[in-house]
Amino acid sequence: MKNKILITCLLASTLSSCHIYRAYERPSTVTVSDSLYRQPVAAEDTTSLASLSWKELFTDPQLQQLIETGLAHNTDLSIARLKVKEAEALLMTSRLSYLPSVSLTPQGTLISLDGNKPSKTYNLAVSADWEIDLFGKLLNAKRGAQAALEQSEAYRQAVQTQLVATIANSYYTLLMLDEQLDITRRTADTWTESLRTMKALKRAGQATEMAVAQTEASKLAVDASVLSIERQINEMENSLSTLLGMSPQEVGRSTLEAQQFPDSLSTGIPLQLLSRRPDVRQCESQLAVAYYATNSARSAFYPGITLSGSAGWTNAAGAAITNPGQWLLSAVGSLVQPLFNRGKNIANLKIAKAQQEEALLTFQQSLLDAGAEVNDALVQWQTARKRIQLDEQQCTSLQSALRSSELLMQHSSQNYLEVITARQALLQAELNTVTDRFDEIQGVINLYHALGGGY
């Protein structure tokens, strides 16, 4: 008896040293440097733009209604929720695997020899099987299922953050297109008036047919731009409606000028990405799943111990039966020690280790990608703000140049081509201002998403 206890203690010590029972811990090779954002971050800067809820960041009531509709009806998010339920069911199965399996196994037999009266026998038994988890097989399966559930939940949150960002981006794209359409239509009206003026000047002998044709061509180009923007608005509304789980329809919205966002954006410390970015947490959960799969592959080298038994009523007599003719009782203990399995256990362990290394590399790369996305979004926002200032100055200068060129053409020999050039340049500058305003808003959205906000 003492020898058995000693052997058991030695075996348990050996198993502990080979990590079969050890829970997952984040590898020491995964480090988050302060330079992940490429810009200096104060160590005490624990606040982040992602700490805001999407309702606090996107204050437009119509946009908030669209996001709520998307969260309720988007197909991808609904599928992600179902995947969480699947993972919960698998985890429940893993937890219940510690309990014995119980089955009702009734059996009846009817035998007749040489036409004699048939004999009837029956067994009404209940059988049970219980696997003793001495070597961590069930433990690692349960922990792996828990990690898989965390992975599914992180995936659901990643889908939600992407959905919120996409809806907001689509909404502000519509506002940008509305503003561009308004500018282009006003420019088209101006060209219509200019064409009427050029025709009157031609009839008075003060303009040539070439000037009229050039003005008309410029007007037609702007009219074509109006149609193109209207098509883009229609397509964007259809795309947004589909994203919200609705049939294509017109989307109610505000104006680009009415939108308000913070004047300063905080990224927080890079370490927050490990806990806030759902896609990063999803990769780490996948690493944990691979870790427990490796432990399970190691457990396959050790014995499997199963206890089974049955109890019931029988009318069949036999030497191996306790109380023949009344109660049937049996108990069996079995131990299976793998000796030679054609290399499957060795191959499975090598595969599990390789997959664990792959998951670790994916996790590390997800951190690098997250840092790059934060930096790109921050630079996008900063650059757009600077460009808006230049655009406004450019528009002011071009408006002055256009007024001067129109006056010179009316009261001197100023060439009409200079007026056309000035008007086209002003139109492009105004469109660029709207585009850069949208780029600024998009930078906020991208930074919010890159930091893990939106759920």
DSSP 298-351: HHTTS-EEEEEEEEEEE----TTSSSTTTEEEEEEEEEE-----TTHHHHHHHH
Of 14 and 306, the structure prediction assigns the larger pLDDT to 306
Instruction: Using the structure block, give the residue that is written with the tokens 């457990």.
Output: 299
Q: Which pLDDT value is given to residue 13?
A: 47
Instruction: Using the structure block, give the residue that is written with the tokens 């098509």.
Output: 231
Q: Which pLDDT value is given to residue 320?
A: 45
Residue 34 DSSP one-character state? G
Residues in the chain: 455
Residue 110: helix, strand or coil by DSSP? strand
The residues, any chain, with a CB within 8 Å of residue 83's CB and separated by 6 or more, are 152, 155, 156
Q: Which of 46, 14, 15 is nearest to 268 (CA)?
A: 46
Q: Mean per-residue pLDDT for 112-129?
A: 77
Q: Which pLDDT value is given to residue 43?
A: 54
Residue 363 has pLDDT above 80, yes or no: yes
Residue 322 has pLDDT above 50, yes or no: no
- Summary mean pLDDT of the chain: 85
Of 386 and 202, the structure prediction assigns the larger pLDDT to 386
Residue 298 has pLDDT above 60, yes or no: yes
Q: How far apart are CA 142 and CA 405, in angstroms?
A: 79
Residue 34 has pLDDT above 80, yes or no: no
Of 86 and 204, the structure prediction assigns the larger pLDDT to 86
pLDDT tens column, 257-268: 999 998 888 888
Of 42 and 115, the structure prediction assigns the larger pLDDT to 115
Q: Mean per-residue pLDDT for 383-408?
A: 87
The residues, any chain, with a CB within 8 Å of residue 72's CB and separated by 6 or more, are 245
pLDDT tens column, 238-278: 999 999 999 999 999 999 999 999 888 888 888 888 888 99
Of 39 and 69, the structure prediction assigns the larger pLDDT to 69
Question: Which helix (H) or strand (E) covers residue 195, if one does?
Answer: helix 137-203
In b/e form, how buried is each residue of 298-312, taking b as 16+ CB within 10 angstroms?
bbbbbebbeebbbeb
Share of the chain above pLDDT 90, in %: 44
Q: Which pLDDT value is given to residue 5?
A: 44
Residue 291 has pLDDT above 90, yes or no: yes
Instruction: Using the structure block, give the residue that is written with the tokens 């690692």.
Output: 140
Decide: 50 and 448 in contact? Cβ < 8 Å.
Answer: yes
Q: How far apart are CA 265 and CA 444, in angstroms?
A: 8
Integer angstrom CA distances of residue 6 from 214, 302, 423: 101, 18, 95
Q: Is the full-model pTM beyond 0.75?
A: yes
Residue 249: helix, strand or coil by DSSP? coil
Q: Which pLDDT value is given to residue 16?
A: 47
Query: 141-155, 162-176, 206-220, 440-454: which range is least confident on average?
Result: 206-220
Q: Which pLDDT value is given to residue 55?
A: 93
Long-range contacts of the stretch 78-81 (C-beta < 8 A, 24+):
80/152, 80/155, 80/156, 80/159, 80/160, 81/156
Q: Is 153 exposed, middle or buried (0-12, 13-18, 19+ CB in 10 A)?
A: buried
- Copy the structure tokens of residue 375: 């930096």
Q: Which pLDDT value is given to residue 30?
A: 82
Q: Mean per-residue pLDDT for 350-379?
A: 93
Q: Which pLDDT value is given to residue 21?
A: 83
Residue 101: helix, strand or coil by DSSP? strand
pLDDT tens column, 70-117: 999 999 999 999 999 999 999 998 888 888 888 887 877 877 777 677
- Percentage helix, strand, coil, to 5, in the chain? 65, 10, 25
Residue 244: helix, strand or coil by DSSP? coil
Q: Which of 451, 446, 452 is nearest to 165 (CA)?
A: 446
Q: Which pLDDT value is given to residue 449?
A: 93
Q: Model confidence at 323, in pLDDT bands (50, 70, 90)?
A: very low
Decide: 198 and 215 in contact? Cβ < 8 Å.
Answer: yes
Long-range contacts of the stretch 186-189 (C-beta < 8 A, 24+):
187/222, 187/423, 187/427, 188/219, 188/222, 188/223, 188/226
- Copy the structure tokens of residue 217: 């061509």
Q: Mean per-residue pLDDT for 400-411?
A: 77
pLDDT tens column, 141-151: 899 999 999 99
Q: Which pLDDT value is given to residue 278?
A: 93
Residue 206 has pLDDT above 80, yes or no: no
**Which domains are seen in the chain, by residue range?**
34-110+118-450 (1.20.1600.10)
